[in-house]
Structure 1
């Protein structure tokens, strides 16, 4: 059985051997797929880097490892880094890392604001929201942030209102909202219909397809970009496939690992702009970015992929 770790060793080893002097040819990876942000036409790579959980915990202990991850993101054709003030030390460590590495202007920064908490009717203190945003500017070392979204749909009138002001002032280029809670989808849909959003951030995976029903079609209709969170179902999909081998037919859309299989399913939906799986390992990031190269599955292949996963036992 070939695990993700084994597959990475094989693929990285092959790539290094092809690039060695004196060999017949050098490895030339396929270019990274990009998609336009609907509201502007700016193109961004389809695979980025998330920092929830893994990145925030590692940041406290091993900044050098995260420097390597961010360097890899840029070197391998990525750009989008998704973070939030609630992700531990993520903003601070990442901001310092890219400045030290000299790559700050090559990162597409996507962060968030929410001082209202998760309660549906909780109100945000405008002063606290502005202070949180200013802290993000300071941590990231930026005069302009690419994208700030209202995290978990917290007090949309107050917090999105502030983001609209910042966009008008050209301190923020794009604004949006996020939700990874199914009960909150009606509120998300209402916000998408009524507010001038550049982006939404939602959970979407081969075994979690509820957003296909209304949210993704509405995003396409309204010209809203989509960042996908939890494309691996956090760890759920890894538990479902276990040590099973990747099916041979995954080669039809250039997936060489389960990680690429899961990501290519998500990226093959035309409404998706970018997927941002979280990792604190450069080797996993290289694998993830590979999903943004080569062919993507067509509709028939997507259904075959979903049927395969549905037939496996659900993660406990």
Structure 2
């Protein structure tokens, strides 16, 4: 296993935010990937991450819902808050079992206030719009977030799963510090337009699911060993039986290369993301300290341009079977919003 040479720090975006070069995605501690894990274990994991230099913590009001922010709130007590860069998200309005995406100003304000209370903090360092409300002009949503910055409730504004045009329009209202997007060996659709747009505008890039939702850590065993409640078993197309057998070949090739490199498959896949540039911060999630240590070790794995190309050939678009999400799920592909002139709301 590759040894760790320290996590290090990086500038995220152009407005002054500095974070650890690798973050910690906290979603799986509370939601979507099986039953919630014990609070005490997850708090110990978070503290271990922070003490190891992984100080960029990522959550959302959707995770649980709400319980992941409450967990983070507990973990931040006792002086931990001052050591971390805290990111959370809003957009999913939940009522009577239904879920809708909202970006109207009233909801932006109420969601932020609720997150501040659950997290037990006065200010969120980076606050993302988790998904784009295609009914509300992005200028209106960003205007509300700008007011939260002015009120001292958030420091920096982010977007998640936003198209290039949406990012441009948002950035014209208030500087966007980071765009969170799915980027991994087998999810590369963002490279064509979104990544270049972020770089042109000086926006930091936060890569979620950099290990392909855990696929590059254990391949098909991930699904074989997952509890029934794990959404990967039933929800994500790439993990369904009709796609998994072909995708398993990708993992085997990555795993073989990892053995040659003297690292794990997950370290190799994560190192590929780290090698995308100094403006990219991956936020792999985990619920185990051993996996956290492995992820940190990925920072020490060095890849040549030839090795990068070899890895990419294993997971080219024509090889990967299945989409990132089921059809009609909100992603950057359907994140365009109406023109500001159409807005008749508050």
Query: Which residue of the partner structure matches residue 327 of structure 2?
Result: none
Shift of 1:36: 1.2
Q: Which residue, 310, 317, 339 being the options, matches 1:304?
A: 310
Question: Do 2:30 and 2:36's aligned partners in 1 also have CA atoms closer than 8 Å?
Answer: no
| Alignment CA distance shift 1:245-1:262 (3 Å) | closer
Question: Do 1:114 and 1:159's aligned partners in 2 also have CA atoms closer than 8 Å?
Answer: no
Q: Which residue, 20, 43, 58 being the options, matches 1:82?
A: 58
Looking at structure 1, the residues matched to 87 and 309 of structure 2 have their Cα atoms a distance apart, in angstroms, of 31
Looking at structure 2, the residues matched to 199 and 126 of structure 1 have their Cα atoms a distance apart, in angstroms, of 20
Gaps of 5+ in 2: 95-99, 221-247, 323-346
Query: Which residue of the partner structure matches residue 281 of structure 2?
Result: 274
Q: Which residue, 280, 290, 300 being the options, matches 2:297?
A: 290
Looking at structure 2, the residues matched to 92 and 59 of structure 1 have their Cα atoms a distance apart, in angstroms, of 16
Question: Do 2:22 and 2:282's aligned partners in 1 also have CA atoms closer than 8 Å?
Answer: yes
Looking at structure 2, the residues matched to 113 and 161 of structure 1 have their Cα atoms a distance apart, in angstroms, of 15
Query: Which residue of the partner structure matches residue 159 of structure 2?
Result: 177
| Alignment CA distance shift 1:310-1:281 (3 Å) | same
| Alignment CA distance shift 1:206-1:188 (3 Å) | farther
Looking at structure 1, the residues matched to 125 and 201 of structure 2 have their Cα atoms a distance apart, in angstroms, of 20
1:43-89 deviation per Cα after TM superposition (whole angstroms, max 9, x unaligned): 32221111224443678451011011101111211111111000011
Query: Which residue of the partner structure matches residue 50 of structure 1?
Result: 25
State the Cα RMSD in Å.
3.1
Question: Do 1:84 and 1:111's aligned partners in 2 also have CA atoms closer than 8 Å?
Answer: yes
1:228-268 deviation per Cα after TM superposition (whole angstroms, max 9, x unaligned): 111122144433325974426863xxx71111111111111
| Alignment CA distance shift 1:122-1:185 (3 Å) | same
Shift of 1:158: 3.6
Looking at structure 2, the residues matched to 250 and 107 of structure 1 have their Cα atoms a distance apart, in angstroms, of 36
Give the secondary-structure state (helix, strand or coil) at the position aligned to 2:44: helix
Q: Which residue, 255, 267, 271 being the options, matches 1:260?
A: 267
Shift of 1:116: 5.8
| Alignment CA distance shift 1:69-1:248 (3 Å) | closer
Shift of 1:271: 5.9
| Alignment CA distance shift 1:69-1:312 (3 Å) | farther
| Alignment CA distance shift 1:114-1:300 (3 Å) | same
Query: Which residue of the partner structure matches residue 7 of structure 2?
Result: 32
Q: Which residue, 145, 152, 162 being the options, matches 2:124?
A: 145
Give the secondary-structure state (helix, strand or coil) at the position aligned to 2:143: helix
Looking at structure 2, the residues matched to 165 and 66 of structure 1 have their Cα atoms a distance apart, in angstroms, of 33
1:162-241 matched pairs, under 5 angstroms = 162-179=144-161, 185=163, 187-191=165-169, 194-195=172-173, 196-237=175-216, 238-239=219-220, 240=248, 241=251
Q: Which residue, 90, 98, 103 being the options, matches 1:113?
A: 90
Query: Which residue of the partner structure matches residue 20 of structure 1?
Result: none
Shift of 1:198: 0.9
The question of 1:98 aligning with 2:76 is answered yes
Shift of 1:186: 5.1
State the number of aligned residues.
Answer: 280
Query: Which residue of the partner structure matches residue 24 of structure 1?
Result: none
